Amino acid sequence: MKYFFLAYAIIAIAVVGVFKYRGHHFSEPPIVLLPDMDDQDVLKAQKPDSFFADGQGARQPVQHTAPIGFQKDGATNLGGIPEYEFSGGSGYYFTGQVGDYFGTGMPEELKLTPENATELLARGEERFNVYCSVCHGSSGDGQGMTSKYGVPGIANLMMFTPEIYPDGRMFDVITKGKGNMSGYGYNVPVRDRWAIISYIRAMQVARKAPYDAVKKSYDEGKAKQDSTKPSAK
């Protein structure tokens, strides 16, 4: 037993000698077993930095970029899209809320008609496939690519019908994010967020439609999908 305590004392002294006491100041870099990204190569605002030839950490904007709110001649468009479509505004169109509650339905600002509603749905499908399908799947069932790599908590959007999940609440989640999902308020313009919601609602309705009513579209889509698959040789 005495050898056990002797070995224990030697190990304890060795550990203390290597790692030292918590909070102890010393000149040599500490041994870090789990760095957890504590030290990163980042630039501190208004600080010198030897990485650049002029020794300054503060840099000019990247050439040909236009920061929001700092455009020449007071221009208010970014790539043809008004700045306020990203950065805010009040009312249902910009927040998804009516007073203290989430609203349902497409905002009047979209100026939808039977003629242009199809265009909004097509835009929604395109933007959904760009921003949403990688996680939620092309059909919104939560079985996208990231689910194959063990990403948890991906929502099945087909379950979030207007009766239990108002359009305004879905807009708010797209804008601010929820759970593992980050917000897209700075990536997706307001109109495109509503277009995505309209497409999700269309998919929910289509799931409940009788097969005879969607057979033609289903067969056309399946034939198109099959035509893009590589043929076996």
CB 92 within 8 A of CB 103: yes
Q: How far apart are CA 171 and CA 120, in angstroms?
A: 15
The mean pLDDT of the chain is: 82
pLDDT in tens, 108-149: 989 899 888 999 999 999 999 999 999 999 999 999 999 888
- 19 within domain boundaries: no
Residue reference for tokens 């309209």: 198
> How many other C-beta atoms are found inside a 10 Å radius of the C-beta of residue 142?
17
Kindly give, in sequence order, each residue whose CB lies less than 8 Å from that of residue 176, ignoring residues fewer than 6 positions away: 183, 185
**pTM of the predicted model as reported, rounded to 2 decimal places:** 0.62
CATH code assigned at 204: 1.10.760.10
- 177 within domain boundaries: yes
- 24 within domain boundaries: no
The 8-class DSSP code of residue 182 comes to E
Domain count, the chain: 1
Instruction: For residue 173, give its domain range.
Output: 75-209
CB 107 within 8 A of CB 176: no
DSSP H or E run through 181: strand 181-182
- 157 within domain boundaries: yes
